[in-house]
Chain A
């Protein structure tokens, strides 16, 4: 069964460093998302992406964050200058359709630790 994959599974970085989190969505999916979950808290929406553009972003997704689909398979989240509070599990998700049938499938996550 097709699944969303994410790399790396765990990333440790120093405050102020740039990180790139990578995702390979399910191949026939057209809508892509990033979410994060700080330890012990709710899963929070960061950004949605469709047709090579950001569709919607949350207040969390400030100028330090960017997303890109550099080729036909990868979808990346870049954090330019990491802060301690960026430490969280980051999940990529994808869906085939929008609206009523927007069934989102999540990857296993990347645990980001900022020191």
Chain B
């Protein structure tokens, strides 16, 4: 089954604006993690939110988790050109740490 589907697929915003992307999943989870990937590069871990948490902040990032709706959102506030990247959610569903990734949201921030 597919887990961790992001929405929208692509997002184009101006510097200074906020960027919001959503992730939906199908099965119960231990935690949900957000990653950033610059084109052709590695995955940078952004934030982990556990199944018993509802909101988490890290710098300009805010992540929410609604386990009743099986969804999460990532908000990037006051975006910068350097935030241009693909953002992925990944779910850990009570297995041996296997993460299941979505297809990602491509974010383009123009100066």
Would you give the shortest CB distance from B12 to chain A, in whole angstroms? 19
Interface on chain A toward B: helix, strand, loop, or mixed SS?
Answer: strand
Binary CB contact string for chain B from 35 to 75 against chain A (1 if under 8 A, 0 otherwise): 10000111111001011100000000000000000000000
| Contact between chains at B97 and A108 (CB < 8 Å) | no
What separation, in Å, do the CA atoms of A53 and B52 have in the docked complex?
30
Q: Count how many chain B residues have C-beta atoms less than 8 Å from C-beta atoms of the other chain.
A: 27
**Interface status of B25 (Cβ within 8 A of chain A):** no
| Contact between chains at B96 and A106 (CB < 8 Å) | no
The residues of A that contact B96 with a CB separation of less than 8 Å are 31, 48, 50, 55-56, 98
| Contact between chains at A109 and B41 (CB < 8 Å) | yes
Binary CB contact string for chain A from 83 to 115 against chain B (1 if under 8 A, 0 otherwise): 000000101010100111111111111000000
| Contact between chains at A104 and B30 (CB < 8 Å) | no
Residue of B43, B101, B103 with highest tally of chain A CB at under 10 A: B43
What separation, in Å, do the CA atoms of A44 and B103 have in the docked complex?
10
Residue of A48, A100, A107, A108 with highest tally of chain B CB at under 10 A: A100
The residues of A that contact B35 with a CB separation of less than 8 Å are 106
Would you give the shortest CB distance from B67 to chain A, in whole angstroms? 13
Would you give the shortest CB distance from B4 to chain A, in whole angstroms? 9
**Interface status of B33 (Cβ within 8 A of chain A):** yes
A56 with B98: in contact, given A103-B48, A106-B42, A108-B42 (CB under 8 Å)? yes
Report which of B40, B52, B97, B101 forms a contact with A33, defined as CB distance below 8 A: B97
Task: Identify 12 new A-B residue pairs, CB closer than 8 A, beyond the known A93-B99, A103-B45.
Answer: A33-B99, A43-B99, A56-B98, A91-B42, A100-B50, A101-B31, A102-B48, A103-B33, A106-B35, A108-B41, A108-B42, A109-B42
Binding site for B on A (CB under 8 A): 31, 33, 35, 41-45, 48, 50, 55-56, 58, 89, 91, 93, 95, 98-109
